[in-house]
Structure formats: C-alpha cells, structure tokens
Structure 1
Amino acid sequence: MTGAGAISDSGVPGAAPHAAPQSADGQKPFATRAGVRRLLHAAVAAPSVHNTQPWRFRRVDDATMELYADLDRLLSVTDPMGRGLGISCGAALFNLRLAIRMTGHAPQVLPLPDPGERPDLLATVRATPDGPPDQDERLLFGMIPHRRTNRFPFDGRPLARNVFLDLVTAAHTEGATLVPVKGRTARRVLDLVAVAEGTLTAEESYRAELARWVGSEARSDGVPEHAFGPRPRHGELPMRDFAVGDLPPGTREQADFEPYPQLAVLFTTDDGPLDWLRAGQALQRVLLTATAHGVAASMFSQPLDVRPPQHRGDHAGPFGYVQMLVRFGYGPPVPHVPRRPVFEVLDRRTREARRG
C-alpha cells in the first residue's frame, strides 16, 4: 500500500491491537468452532446497505466456506436487482479473505460457482497453505473493527495526495477504478444525489421499506438513531435522511457540513452480479485503507437506487459503470452500529437441505 510506512501499526491513535485469527501447527482455518467464529466475526463487520447484513455462510469442510446472499434481506424497493446486496456481500468477502490470510493461508475465491442452480451462492472460498501475512495485510485486518460509516460533518481539510493515491491503488488492486470528482463536476454529482433523494423520500413504498431498517437501538441490524447523523442545516450536502417520517419536523439536530466535500466515484468495467461482488471487495479495501490513514467516509447511492431496473447497466462511461459514490474527509469519532452474532449468519444445514 503506497504511503503505508507513515501509518502506525494500529492506524488509530490509542486503539487496542485487534487479535488476529491464528492457525496452530498448520491447522486449517475452519477446523474448529472457535476458528469459524473468529473468521466470520471479521467478515460480518463489513458495511452493508442500511446495515441489512444480507449474507449467510456455510462451512463446507475444514478449509472451505461458502458465502450466500440472504435474499430475505433484499431491499425490494431500492435494490430490486440486488446490486447493493452484492456490494455488501463483496465487502464481507474481502474481510473474510483478510481473516484467512492472518492464519497463514491464502484464500482461493471462486465467485458465482453455480449461477444456474444456486444463484444465491455468491462465492466459494478455499484456504490453501501459504506464508505469513505481510505488513499491509496485517494493517488492513487491524482496521476492520475501527472502520465506520460517518454521516457527520467533516472539517474540510483536504486529503493529502499520497493518501488519495493509496485509495485509488486500493480500488485498482481489486479490479475496480476509483476516480476523484472535483469542482463543477462534484457539484453536478451532488445535485443528482439531491434530486434522487427527493424522489425516493416522496415514495411511500420507499419510506415504508426504510422504516423497517432504521431507528431501533435494541436490534442487531439496521441503522440505529445514533448513526443517522444530523441534517445539513442549509441542505448543502444531500445526506440520506434515515429519519424520514420518523421524527417530528424540527426535532432532529442540524449542523453545518463541509462546503466542498471530497468525493470519489467507484467504477467497474461491467455491471452484473460478478461486478457487484468485485465492487464490494474494492470498496472495503478502500474503506479500510482510508481508516488506516485516519480518514472517515460515507456513501451515496441514491441515484443508483432510482434507476429503473430495466435500464440498469446501460450507462457506461469512460471508466465503466458507477457502483458507488464515496465522500472522504476528517470527521468526529462515531460509535459502531450493531452486528448480528455469528450463529445467526452461519448456516448449519447441508447443501441438500438448502436445495430442498
């Protein structure tokens, strides 16, 4: 990772080191319940659309894990094709890959191994013996518990050129392209986001779907109120409003956001299930790299949410297809949002039972 030498081992001031999963005496990563739990604990720390955590895992043998889409958690209004679901699962897949590397194994990923018979099977990951993880892998793995989606105002300080180069390199490493957006182009992009946000919030079906995933501080998924962030005081930044229809007007905190947000767009060369999975892995590598530099991030996807399903994938530009718009900057520390425990996402049924 370019510029990683300037980052401390923890990457976060005062952060306790994150315990990496270890394989004793060459033991395969999924040989024990404790090993499975440690690796999946890292995987499920990935970001997901509305924190739906739309993934399931199935242990095949001591060295093999399958990643499935949890279609019961698909957002049928805003994500009917499963693009956001695929990106979310791709982020979890990247974390799982990092966790496997910490055991001295290499993750061999077979994406979409059976799209005809098992379209919900997104990847088979087999761990093969390898050398110890390198410094960059350890650094990124250590960032997993510290990465947050930060919907609060940033202070406006620009990212250094070498930091942005690290983010671009991170995306490229995973087969995607991250392009910074500045000046008038950035303003036009934000205008598109604002229009899309307005279109979405005007739809009753969208508000009803969003309400099912936000607000509660007691559940292990969804976006709790403490993570909403304040409303922009003058509407200068079109943050997604998770409190639509939930709080009386004027009761939610307002704040001044940075006037010139630092934006970047994540592209893939094509636009299908394989590309969404690739985009998710690239996005997570970018976000962990940003965390290592002390950089906060939040995402915009509203323009993608309002594109009619029959027209998705038909607007390729010189860099390919837009998969995510990311805002970077330096913001206040924010608490984590909840995660489902491993036993809820680990499928203990046999493959034959799943088919039945």
Structure 2
Amino acid sequence: MSVVGARPGHASAYLVRAAVTAPSVHNSQPWLFVSDGDRGIEVHADAGRRLPLADPHGREMLISCGAALFNVRLAMRHLGFKPVVRDFPEPGDPSFLARVMWGAYAPPTGEEQRLYGALHRRHTVRGPLLADPLPAGLLDALRDHARAEGAELHVVGDPGGRRRLAALVRAGEEAQHPDCLPLTGRDYAGLAPLFPAPPRRGQGRSGLVAILGTDRDDRRAWLRVGQALERVLLHAAAHDVMAAFHTQPLEVPHLRARTRRTVGEGAFPQMILRLGHASGVCPLPRRPLAEVLR
C-alpha cells in the first residue's frame, strides 16, 4: 500500500494488523478495535482478558492497549497521515480508550519509517540476553523516545540497585507463585543470572536493566506509558536490541512501593525491562483479526 495512494476508509484492517504486533503483559492481548469508517478507528480494552489477580485495577491492561495504540498511530504515519488522537472520549465507557482519526497528509519522517519497519522485528525475550554491548548512543535515544511520550526511562546501573531490584523481582514471583520452584532453581526468564555485579557498564547476561516510569499513576498515565514502551521497544528493535519484561514486583502493592524508591519518589514504576541482543527469539501467537476488529 503506497503512502500517497492509501484510502483511509479501506485501511482499518491495515491499522489493526500493525496494532496487534504490540507486546502485552503475559501475552494477554487485551484489546479490541472498532472501525469508524473514513473517520478513523477506535481502541477499546477487552476487559474479559484482564488478569484479575495480577492486574486488579487494569494498569497492565491499559499499558498493553497503549502499546497497540502507538502502533495504530505509527501505521497512520506510515501511510502519510497525521493521527488525531482523543483519549478516553466517553467518560461513561471506561473500556473506550481512544479514538484515532485521520488527520492531514504529511510524509512520514525517516525515524517513523524505521520504527514502522521494526514492527515485525520486535519480539519479547524470555531468557538470558547476549553480553554484546549496546550500540553507542542508543540509550540516550531510548530515553528521548520515552520522554517524547510522557514517560521516563530510568537505568539501574549500579550493582547495589540491581541486586535490590532482583530481590524484589524474586519476592514478587514468590508472592504470586509460592508453590513453584525458587528462581535460582529454574532460571525463570533468565533471572538467575540477573543483576550480578555488571562486568561492563551495567550490562552482562541480564542486559541493560531499566524501569519505565511516569509522574502520575492513573488511567491516562498507564495508557501513555504503554505508548512510550512500544516506541522505546521499536527503536531498540531497529538496532537489533530486544527486551524482556519483569512485572512481578509491580503486581504486588507493597513491592511496587519499594520498587518506586529505585526511580525516586517523584515517579511511579510501570515496567521493568532488560534490554540487549538476543538469539533465537520467536514471535508469540496473535489473536485472529476477525476476533479483535469490529
């Protein structure tokens, strides 16, 4: 589909195919999309796919939907249109997260094209990362991308901070799954070697460790940080850098409060990431288009 020749009224399926490549917490894929004809598309939360024990307030559900919303915006830019976004357009319908309308024509920037090209390259890592260093300048660029969406990317580089964060991740895992083997016995998601004293510039087999945070902790902030998350992940993927997520301590209130001290009292932690090069990363299955587009 060419940028100039795209017809908005025929593009809903195109937008949703881009949207559903987004990551979601525990691969829950808690989104629905409603075509609004020539005007645009609606993004809704599929509340039936919220995880009630891990996510009682829907925070992770909105983060996941925010990532999908960013991809809708990006796909519109790839087609050469400026997205016009209105979030939470109907206060009486909490599942209606955003209406994205076709705006004026404007060619996509080179960076937008690179981000779009990374949609199908980005995959979530579920194991250890390679020890290869990150490309020069990437970390600063990732911080800028997070900031552009209203979030902050806080790097946990000192050994003490990494050890404390590792302990919180383990405590969160044990709180949710007390009958499971301990992390050190099963290398859950590559966490057994996570956060040792880093051998070089804060990066070892665990990769670069970072926390994505916001200055508020409400539904609008959760939707916003989901967009920041996907923007960060796509820029990283464009440089062959992938991410692993660790939500365990953020799903237990008192552990999330302790995690907050890592980023400072002025910020709320929303996602814990490991970033690095990976091998053998496989895409996860996606819900069929007919199930998520109405």
Task: Please tell me the TM-score bracket, short chain as reference.
Answer: 0.7 to 0.9
Structure of greater Rg: 1
Pair 1:332-2:279 in alignment: yes
CA distances 1:127-171 after superposition (whole Å, capped 9, x unpaired): 112211111101000100110001122122332440111111110
Separation in 2, partners of 1:281, 1:134: 18
Pair 1:177-2:152 in alignment: yes
Separation in 2, partners of 1:275, 1:161: 30
Pair 1:162–1:25, CA change in 2 (3 A): closer
1:249-268 equivalences in 2 (<5 Å): 258=204, 261-268=207-214
Shift of 1:234: 8.8
Shift of 1:173: 1.1
Partner of residue 143, structure 1: 118
Q: 2:223 aligns with which of 277, 294, 316?
A: 277
Separation in 2, partners of 1:282, 1:107: 16
Pair 1:260–1:53, CA change in 2 (3 A): closer
Identity of aligned residues (%): 39
The answer (yes or no) to whether the contact 1:66–1:123 under 8 Å persists in 2 is yes
Pair 1:290-2:266 in alignment: no
Q: 2:192 aligns with which of 230, 235, 238?
A: 235
Partner of residue 38, structure 1: 14
The answer (yes or no) to whether the contact 2:191–2:206 under 8 Å persists in 1 is no
Shift of 1:232: 7.0
Shift of 1:22: 3.6
Give the root-mean-square deviation of aligned CA atoms: 2.8
Pair 1:57–1:188, CA change in 2 (3 A): same
Structure 2 unpaired stretches of 5+: 181-185, 196-202
Shift of 1:182: 1.2
Q: 2:248 aligns with which of 282, 286, 302?
A: 302
The answer (yes or no) to whether the contact 1:153–1:258 under 8 Å persists in 2 is no
The answer (yes or no) to whether the contact 1:22–1:102 under 8 Å persists in 2 is no
Structure 1 unpaired stretches of 5+: 1-20, 205-228, 239-256, 348-356
Shift of 1:60: 1.7
1:1-356 equivalences in 2 (<5 Å): 21-22=1-2, 25=5, 27=7, 29=8, 31-32=9-10, 35-115=11-91, 117-183=92-158, 184-202=160-178, 231=188, 235-237=192-194, 258=204, 261-307=207-253, 317-347=264-294
Pair 1:323–1:203, CA change in 2 (3 A): farther
Secondary structure of residue in 2 paired with 1:237: coil
